[in-house]
Amino acid sequence: MAAKMNPDLKKERDGASFDPEKIVNFLYGGPDRVRRRREVVSLALDDPDFQHEDLNFMSREQQYETQLKKSILVVQKQKELGLVSPEDMGNYNYNGVFKGMSGPFGLHTSMFLPTLRGQATAEQKAKWLKMAENYAIIGTYAQTEMGHGTFLRGLETTSTYDPQTQEFVLNTPTPTGTKWWPGCLGKTSNYCVLMAQLYIHGKSYGPHPFMVQIRSLQDHKPLPGVTVGDIGPKFGYAGNDNGFLRFDNVRIPRDNMLMKYSRVEPDGTYVKPPSSKLAYGTMVQVRSFIVSEASDSLAKAVTIAVRYSCVRRQSEMKPGHPEPQVLDYVTQQYKLFPYLAAAYAFMLAARSMIFVYFRSMEKIGRGDITVLPELHALSSGLKSLSSWVMNAGIEECRMACGGHGYSHASGIPSIYMEHTPAATYEGENTVLMLQTARYLMKSYNQSLQGEKLAGSVAYLSGVQPVPVAGRTRNVLDLNVLIQAFQHRAARLVHEAALQLKKERQTGKDQPDAWNAASVDLVKAAKAHSQYFVVKNFADRLTDPALDSAARAVLTRLCQLYALHDIVNSSGDFLEDGYLTGSDIRQARRHINALMAKLRPDAVALVDAFDFPDGILNSILGRYDGNVYQHLLEWAKASPLNKTDVHESYYKYLKPFLEANRAKL
């Protein structure tokens, strides 16, 4: 029998102005895809083979063993169930079984397989890809080192070609050259795609990918010359064996270098790729999916905090009256609603980014590599912006849940621990923003030469940012908001370019000038990325899948998202007089009015993210709102409560107390 719903949550849902199912269909691609998504997720959530003790009550070793067992079951059951599409497998595996967490096969599917598919020749695919796809071998992607991460040219692991034997000799020359952090490396993988500096006849040709066996296929022990292990406990990812890896004169055949784009001939002749950026494809794909991961993680935290804020009643707003729901406090709305809006904004940005990625890869497959620089810049900027906002938003949601938010029962600490590394993995955010800035500077200079720009930088074509002061604006108008964000981005790109030029004029060389102007460059890249997110949100509101009620509530979220950033970054808009103090004051008033309008729809809006309890994994965020009885049951299940008296009492506390009493 279904549990009775908390009356406050029932009232919230009954009072919504729109049908959440309309937005669910809008977010996830229509009724058929939503139906399929729910069906596949339920296959995982309802399978007793995936039921186990709460991971929070397990040791790290138990968590790893549990997640490894589940990973193997996933592979077997996906075949049995006929789940072959990437969408089905993602919903079953990542969402349903692992609930948005990373398992011991995570890097095998997210990096190892895509790299083989994207950078191996047809002959190399025939040799390794079928084995990898059928899990006859398990691989990881070994790029990051103890001393270098985002800066690939600084990698120290070497691969030196020996033309006499037609082999590459792998070495780790320094402690800082130790591969460090790759997931699935510590105990799981027996192969890796290794990024190492290629040396031929004493000359360096930069980092290249190599297919390397690191463990025996018979007993799983490290091969001669290979030192590999787990890096130890981390902030999160307890079930994942992030590892370290070192090589001491390990020899691999010449054809173990992935040679789709560049190759080494038997005599040592190096054949360079048509573009040095072609190898970025896998990383761009991963960064595109991180935007989706960030939006989903923020959406989960907001869902928990909003639902709990409607269940929780606190203090007396008016003496003698019942305690109000916490979400009725405007300060609570101001904490949560901007992040609710941000979750929607980045969810829509992620869908657009992934669409751009696949469209671009089709062009690249036809030989058109001109799309790569913009694709790299856009994915870098959005990955950085979304993960920064996600990190801040999850922590705000935790604090908005009061003391209970600190408990693992809330689900929020796990979300934070699992996803906060997105700000540093697959490219540290500030470094990535500077890569976006490099593309912006190049595009801006092209526009000064009269070139017409397209895509995400089209707004820079011929733009010389000129303030338009003294104009009265309706800052609720989405076109006005888009123009404001476009103006800010164009102005900050322009000013960053001027600052860079000034630094050069003082006598600095280009690298020193770039470093001196880097704060302005990052600011410009953030503004560019934010403009994309706002414009994309507004553009998506024209989708015919939305009815008038759903479009109205999403329009309010879009307005809130934009206005909140304008108020928080008001200096950017006031600095050149584009907006006035009156505009900012108007924006503040509109934010309060928008929050009041969104308040009755808050629960329905988080329901529209469509996270079942099994995925949300939160006592505080339960769909039925029955928080307190389940919170007590969860606490009773703690291993510390298996006995009324813990064994440490007899070992330590009892003799301590008895000795003290004897002295009295």
Residue from 405, 365, 379, 363 nearest 525 by CA: 379
Specify which residues 171 forms β-bridges with. Answer: 158, 248
Which residues are designated catalytic?
426
User: What element of type H or E holds 208?
Assistant: strand 203-213
Establish how many alpha carbons lie within 13 A of residue 274's alpha carbon, considering only the half-sphere containing its beta carbon: 9
User: Which residues have a Cβ under 8 Å from the Cβ of 196 and sit 6 or more positions away?
Assistant: 155, 157, 158, 159, 170, 207, 208, 210
Helices (H) and strands (E) in the chain, counts: 25, 10
- As a whole number of angstroms, the distance between CA 273 and CA 253 comes to 20
CA 121, CA 128: separation in Å to the nearest integer? 11
- Separation of alpha carbons 228 and 232, rounded Å: 12
Of 178, 118, 119, 112, nearest in space to 141 by CA: 112
Query: Which element (helix H / strand E) includes 141?
Result: strand 139-142
The residue among 88, 112, 110 whose CA lies nearest residue 40 is 88
Query: In terms of Cα–Cα distance, which of 556, 543, 643, 657 is closest to 599?
Result: 556
- Give a three-class secondary structure readout of 417-430: HHHHHHHCCCCCHH
CB 38 within 8 A of CB 28: no
Take residue 261 and report the two structure tokens written for it. Answer: 């784009």
Q: Which of 560, 15, 9, 581 is nearest to 334 (CA)?
A: 560
**CA angle at 541 for the pair 537 and 542, rounded to the nearest 5°:** 130
Q: How many CA atoms are closer than 13 Å to the CA of 497, on its beta-carbon side?
A: 20
Q: What's the token pair of residue 102?
A: 């990373």
b/e string for 34-65 if b means 16 or more Cβ within 10 A? bebbbebbebbbeeeebeeeebbebeeeebbe
Among 116, 433, 102, smallest CA distance to 256 is for 116
Question: Taking the CA of residue 641 as centre, how many other CA atoms within 13 Å lie in the half-sphere pointing to its CB?
Answer: 8
Contact assessment for residue 360 and residue 379, using Cβ atoms and an 8 Å cutoff: no
Tokens of 208: 């290249």
C-alpha Rg value of the chain to the nearest Å: 27
H or E element: which one contains 226?
A: strand 226-230
